[in-house]
Amino acid sequence: LYLLASSARGIQHTAVRGAHRKHEPTFHDKYGTMVLLGGASMFTAVWTYVFTSLNVEWGISPVGRVTPSEWRE
């Protein structure tokens, strides 16, 4: 019983000590959103450049472009 009580007191003491400590912002707290937005905009810019510089015809269909060759026997 004593072991449980001392263990519970230790947990309470640790919780109280953590609650009174000031929270210092980490790198992710300070810059996380900006890094995420910067990465998303860079990703979008790079892929936009790639897709527009390749001159890809989207939605290509062979109808009207492919003519069947003559049948040889």
User: What stretch of H or E contains 16?
Assistant: helix 2-20
Residue 12 within any structural domain of the chain:
no
Mean pLDDT, the chain, whole residue set: 77
**Cα(53)–Cα(16) distance, rounded to whole angstroms?**
60
**pLDDT score, position 18:** 56
Rounded to the nearest 5°, which phi and psi values hold at 61? Answer: -130, 140
* Structural domain count, the chain: 1
**Cα(2)–Cα(69) distance, rounded to whole angstroms?**
94
Residue 35 within any structural domain of the chain:
yes
Domain of residue 35: give its range.
25-53
**pLDDT score, position 68:** 73
Please state the pTM of the whole predicted model: 0.45
User: What stretch of H or E contains 61?
Assistant: none
**Cα(2)–Cα(17) distance, rounded to whole angstroms?**
22
26-61: pLDDT as tens digits: 888 888 999 999 999 999 999 999 888 877 666 667
